[in-house]
């Protein structure tokens, strides 16, 4: 039909095409075009499939806003009046409303608008599409699409498939009764739909054909609805992940009636009780998929559970009170393809040779389970294995040579164990797989691996993530190591004794997002080949041995990065612009003032410029960055007052180091609003102020308060003892006077060992906290065991009076210095208890 051909070309003109998406849309016969089909008798277009055909990561859309190019729905779509099939999914319609004109295509049987970045109210006119069998309206982000009244859905009587995941149904109070009125439904997905509570009594169960029912992510699924679901005798898959905190009793009632169940997801529900009680109520003898992760189940995994012998997928991860007896468990489930016991208590210690008997296993995750011993050579029997994670355990020995025959392996994670040996056999073996190695993720970091990295690594052409950091690897890294790594996105070889011998004119075959070669050796010149990495987001070359000024090309290149760490080198010259998220240039020789354009890095969460030669005043660039987590400008030559941030404050600041500068004026008032502070170090400056009383009121999380060697005067405020989390207090070498607060014993964190709160900085910001402790004229820099340090230094002031007896309650105190004051009276007898 010529009119329909013209309509198709008009539709094409508004669709984003980054490649050859519409290359076949030429000539007169539109029925042969890609994505188009016609009725053989009438010639009318009956099918139009415009699903975006290129892969991209929806998580990038959710978290980073990175989308495909913008498309529009051309009005000519309504000219295709005979359409039975329409798919617009995975496109970017840039928050446009769902077109009402689709409702005029009354012959539609299939409509897919999922993940297409539509926005707003789903038009109730879609109820005119009474012939629909398949309707997919899944939103591409939370709260993009909404429905206030679902009554229109009841006008589609033959619907078999419905997906409204991520659609906001919070105002659609009739959702339950409307859904229940469509007995033809076979598949229903309401994942994270914000479903409103349904009061009892519930109507009789009417979904007699339902096979798949997905209700995960809706917190108002009450026990009454679980009892209602027990009538779904045709149900084969039930998704109830993240549905609040249903009682284990109500779950048992449903499980006891669903005799045809093949898949069950009860993860992330805070379920409490004995796992045996729960599983004994599963009436289905054909259950193949069981997901119980992220709960509080307890007890022994049953030794004999014959009723679940058909299990192919079993996930018990993150149930730390469940004790799993490996021989018995695996002995029951011989058909397992997927097994995850992450973060559980494995009884039996070793990984056990019998694991090699389960030749059907495709996914095995035994990470963080405390297993010991060596990986058995029988692991090589698992020729179907695609995913293996044994990280964060106590495994020793070498990587078995039999593992190099696992040619289907796509993910291998052995991080953070005590494994030694060399990598030659593994890489040489995997690189000779007949159909080419499938390995895409390889993480062997945090072990004791030694020897060289063989050049056969360069033959693992599917490798995407590579992390060999923190081992004892030696030798040279050359072009041969990357010869065929065209897919490489993450390259991490940091903290080894490797010589990176890559020529500056090298053009890597990959375009990486992350490169970390910290504490390897390269020589003095900054690697020019980095500028070929146009997708680079994270660059870490700390302790790399490079010196001199940064290359001119890098000053512009670095603006496109998200994270940059060039610390502990010999770099000099002016500072580059800050990337969006993280910048660490500490321990170099950068000079000059802090650039004013740092204020453009509105998402900056970590900035460390310590131990440089930066001078000038401190600009207020950090004031408006709400989520600033770490700011370290210590050991420079900054002068003047610290900006006061009058209207906007970095309220999420966790760690602030301005020590060892020449800053003057008062203690900045903006700190009053930083109530999440863990570390505050303003020492070795010229601050002239009283210690403000708001420090004792507003900073319950503060662990380090260091203001030594300033010009502080006045008394130590009595309410400073409200800092019950404080472990380090250094107010030495000031002009403080008055008596010591009488309730120093309130520093409860100095009584017994506390949790390592600073690990949050390492996990969240890749930042290792460091504090200088002075004792008997010597300075010690504490980092890894900082959480064990307890310290009070009030020396070199004008304090007078007696030492309060409450001080002796601090039985966990390691350092106490009250010297060079005017204290009088007796030395407390109970000081002998402070062992």
Q: How many CB atoms lie within 10 A of CB 501?
A: 15
Q: What is the pLDDT of residues 255-279, one digit of tens each?
A: 888 889 999 999 998 888 877 777 7
Q: Output 59 or 315, whichever has higher pLDDT.
A: 315
In the structure, what pLDDT confidence band is assigned to residue 323 with cuts at 50, 70 and 90? low
Looking at the predicted structure, is the pLDDT value of residue 64 above 80?
Answer: no
User: In the predicted model, what is the mean pLDDT of residues 380-409?
Assistant: 90
**How far apart are alpha carbons 774 and 22 in whole angstroms?**
71
State yes or no: pLDDT of 302 exceeds 80: no
Categorise residue 357: left if φ over 0, alpha if ψ from -120 to 50, beta otherwise: alpha
Query: Residue 308 and residue 249: Cα distance in Å, rounded?
Result: 20
Provide the CATH number for the domain around residue 92.
Answer: 3.80.10.10
Q: Is the pLDDT of residue 347 over 60?
A: no
pLDDT computed for residue 146 by the predictor: 95
User: What pLDDT shows up at residue 63?
Assistant: 43
Check residue 697 and give its pLDDT. 86
Amino acid 761: pLDDT: 67
Q: How many helices (H) and strands (E) does the chain have?
A: 11, 55
Quick one: pLDDT at residue 349?
58
135 domain-assigned: yes
Give domain status of residue 314, yes or no. Answer: no
Count of CB atoms within 10 A of residue 23's CB? 10
- What percentage of the chain exceeds 70 in pLDDT? 92
Residues 71 and 15 sit within 8 Å (Cβ to Cβ):
yes
For the ranges 236-240, 372-376, 586-590, which has the lowest average pLDDT? 372-376
Domain boundary among 196, 218, 252: 196
Higher-confidence position of 335 and 367: 367
Q: pLDDT above 90 covers what percent of the chain?
A: 60
The C-alpha atoms of residue 544 and residue 498 are separated, in whole angstroms, by 11
pLDDT computed for residue 628 by the predictor:
84
Q: CA 38, CA 762: separation in Å to the nearest integer?
A: 59
Amino acid 360: pLDDT: 84
On whether residue 437 sits in a domain, the answer given is no
- In the structure, what pLDDT confidence band is assigned to residue 777 with cuts at 50, 70 and 90? confident
**pLDDT tens per residue across span 607-651:** 999 999 999 999 888 888 877 889 999 999 999 999 988 888 888
Calpha distance 748→727 (Å, rounded): 9
Rounded average pLDDT over 577-587 = 89
> According to the per-residue pLDDT averaged within each range, which of 308-317, 327-336, 411-420, 573-582 is highest?
411-420
pLDDT of 305 reads 56
From 172, 196, 220, the end of a domain falls on 196
Total Cβ atoms within 10 A of residue 702: 24
Per-residue pLDDT band for 704 (boundaries 50, 70, 90) equals very high
Residue 336 lies in a domain: no
CB atoms within 10 A of CB 576: 21
**pLDDT band, very low/low/confident/very high, at 251 (cuts 50, 70, 90):** confident
| Digit-coded pLDDT (tens) for 419-431 | 999 999 899 888 8
Contact 122, 98 (CB under 8 A): yes
Q: Is the pLDDT of residue 434 over 80?
A: no
Assign 56 a pLDDT band (cuts: 50, 70, 90).
low
Residue 28 has pLDDT above 70, yes or no: yes
Segment 217-230, tens digit of pLDDT: 998 777 788 888 88
CA 580, CA 572: separation in Å to the nearest integer?
22
Query: For the chain, what is the mean pLDDT?
Result: 88
Q: Range with the lowest mean pLDDT among 153-162, 278-287, 562-571, 804-813?
A: 278-287
Task: For residue 181, give its domain range.
Answer: 1-196
Helix intervals (H) in 576-704: 694-698
Partnered with residue 197 across adjacent β-strands are none
What was the pLDDT predicted at 62? 45
Most confident of 242-256, 285-299, 336-350, 673-687: 673-687
Is the confidence at residue 353, as pLDDT, over 70? no
Q: What is the DSSP letter of 684?
A: S
Average pLDDT over residues 498-502: 94
Q: How many CA within 13 A on the CB side of residue 532? A: 12
pLDDT at 152: 97
Q: What's the pLDDT score for residue 132?
A: 97
- Residue 180 to residue 162: CA distance in whole angstroms: 13
Residue 789 is assigned to a structural domain of this protein: yes
pLDDT tens, position by position, 508-564: 999 999 999 999 998 889 999 999 999 999 999 999 999 999 999 998 898 889 999
Q: Which of 151, 173, 196 marks a domain boundary?
A: 196
H helix runs in 648-749, sequence order: 694-698
Q: What 8-state DSSP symbol labels residue 176?
A: H
Residue 80 lies in a domain: yes
What's the distance, CA 154 to chain centroid?
40
Confidence check: pLDDT of 135 > 90: yes
For residue 47, what pLDDT is reported? 97
pLDDT at position 58: 52
Q: Report the pLDDT averaged over residues 740-753.
A: 86
At residue 304, the pLDDT reads: 43
Tell whether the model's pLDDT for residue 298 goes beyond 90.
Answer: no
Per the DSSP assignment, residues forming a β-bridge with 70 are: 92
* For residue 444, pLDDT beyond 90: yes
> Cis before residue 201, ω within 30 degrees of 0?
yes
For residues 149-163, give the mean pLDDT.
96
Q: Determine, yes or no, domain membership for 521.
A: no
Give the number of domains in the chain. 2
Residue 237 confidence class, pLDDT cut points 50, 70, 90: very high
Q: Decide if 433 is inside a domain.
A: no
Statement: residue 747 has pLDDT above 50? yes
Confidence tier at 382 by pLDDT (50, 70, 90): confident
């Amino acid at each position: 039909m010529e009119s329909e051909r013209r309509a198709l070309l008009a539709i094409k003109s508004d669709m984003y095409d980054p490649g050859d998406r519409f290359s076949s849309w030429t000539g007169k016969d539109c029925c042969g075009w890609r994505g188009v089909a016609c009725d053989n008798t009438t010639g009318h277009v009956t099918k139009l499939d415009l699903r975006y055909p290129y892969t991209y990561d929806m998580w990038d859309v959710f978290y980073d806003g990175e989308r495909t190019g913008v498309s529009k729905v051309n009005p000519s779509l309504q000219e295709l009046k005979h359409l039975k099939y329409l798919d617009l999914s995975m496109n970017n319609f840039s928050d446009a409303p769902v077109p009402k004109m689709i409702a005029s295509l009354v012959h539609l049987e299939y409509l897919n608008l999922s993940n297409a970045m539509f926005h707003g109210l789903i038009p109730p006119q879609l109820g005119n599409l009474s012939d629909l069998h398949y309707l997919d309206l899944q939103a591409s982000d939370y709260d993009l699409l909404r429905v206030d009244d679902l009554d229109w859905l009841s006008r589609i009587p033959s619907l078999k498939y419905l997906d409204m995941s991520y659609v906001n149904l919070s105002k659609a109070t009739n959702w339950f009764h409307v859904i229940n009125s469509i007995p033809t439904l076979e598949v229903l997905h309401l994942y994270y739909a914000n479903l409103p509570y349904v009061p009892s009594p519930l109507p009789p169960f009417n979904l007699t054909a339902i096979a798949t029912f997905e209700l995960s992510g809706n917190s108002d699924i009450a026990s009454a609805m679980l009892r209602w679901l027990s009538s779904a005798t045709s149900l084969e898959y039930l998704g109830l992940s993240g549905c609040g905190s249903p009682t284990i009793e109500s779950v048992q009632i449903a499980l006891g009636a669903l005799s045809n169940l093949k898949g069950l997801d009860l993860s992330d529900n805070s379920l409490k009780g004995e796992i045996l009680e729960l599983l004994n109520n599963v009436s289905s003898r054909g259950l193949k998929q069981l997901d119980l992760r992220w709960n509080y189940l307890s007890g022994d995994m049953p030794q004999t559970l014959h009723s679940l012998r058909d299990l192919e997928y079993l996930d018990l991860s993150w149930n730390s009170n469940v004790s799993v007896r490996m021989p018995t468990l695996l002995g029951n489930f011989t058909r397992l393809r997927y097994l995850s016991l992450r973060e559980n208590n494995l009884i039996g210690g070793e990984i056990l040779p019998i694991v090699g008997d389960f030749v059907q296993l495709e996914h095995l995750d035994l990470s963080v389970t405390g297993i010991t011993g060596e990986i058995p050579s029988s692991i090589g029997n698992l020729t179907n294995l695609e995913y293996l994670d044994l990280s964060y355990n106590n495994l020793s020995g070498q990587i078995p040579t039999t593992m190099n025959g696992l040619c289907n392996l796509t993910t291998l994670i052995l991080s953070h164990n005590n494994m030694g040996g060399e990598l030659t056999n593994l890489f040489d073996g995997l690189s000779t797989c007949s159909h080419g190695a499938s390995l895409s993720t390889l993480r062997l970091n945090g072990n004791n691996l030694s020897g060289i990295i063989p050049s056969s690594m360069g033959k693992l052409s599917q490798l995407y993530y590579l992390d060999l950091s923190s081992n004892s690897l030696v030798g040279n890294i050359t072009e041969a190591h990357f010869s065929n790594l065209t897919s490489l996105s993450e390259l991490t070889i940091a903290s080894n004794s490797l010589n990176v011998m890559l020529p500056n004119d090298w053009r890597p075959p990959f375009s990486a997002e992350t490169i970390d070669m910290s504490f390897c050796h390269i020589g003095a010149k900054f690697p020019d080949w980095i500028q070929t990495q146009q997708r680079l987001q994270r660059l870490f070359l700390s302790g790399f041995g490079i010196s001199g000024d940064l290359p001119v090309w890098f000053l512009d290149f670095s603006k496109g990065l998200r994270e940059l760490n060039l610390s502990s080198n010999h770099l000099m010259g002016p500072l580059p612009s800050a990337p969006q998220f993280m910048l660490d240039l500490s321990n170099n020789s950068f000079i000059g003032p802090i650039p004013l354009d740092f204020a453009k890095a509105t998402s900056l969460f970590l900035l460390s410029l310590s131990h440089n030669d930066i001078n000038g005043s401190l600009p207020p660039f950090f004031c408006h960055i709400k989520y600033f987590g770490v700011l370290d400008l210590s050991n420079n030559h900054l002068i003047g007052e610290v900006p006061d941030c009058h209207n906007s404050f970095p309220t999420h600041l966790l760690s602030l180091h301005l020590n060892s500068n020449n800053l003057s004026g008062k203690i900045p008032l903006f700190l009053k609003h930083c109530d999440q502070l863990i570390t505050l170090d303003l020492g070795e400056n010229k601050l002239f102020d009283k210690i403000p009383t708001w420090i004792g009121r507003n900073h319950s999380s503060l662990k380090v308060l260091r203001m030594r060697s300033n010009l502080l005067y006045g008394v130590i405020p009595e309410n400073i003892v409200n800092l019950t989390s404080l472990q380090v207090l250094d107010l030495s070498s000031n002009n403080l006077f008055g008596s010591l607060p009488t309730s120093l014993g309130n520093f409860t964190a100095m009584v017994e060992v506390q949790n390592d709160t600073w690990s949050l900085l390492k996990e969240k910001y890749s930042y290792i906290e460091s504090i200088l402790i002075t004792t008997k004229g010597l300075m010690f820099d504490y980092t890894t065991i900082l959480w064990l340090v307890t310290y009070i230094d009030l020396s070199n002031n004008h304090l007078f009076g007696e030492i309060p007896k409450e001080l002796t309650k601090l039985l966990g105190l390691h350092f106490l210095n009250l010297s060079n004051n005017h204290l009088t009276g007796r030395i407390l007898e109970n000081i002998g208890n402070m062992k």
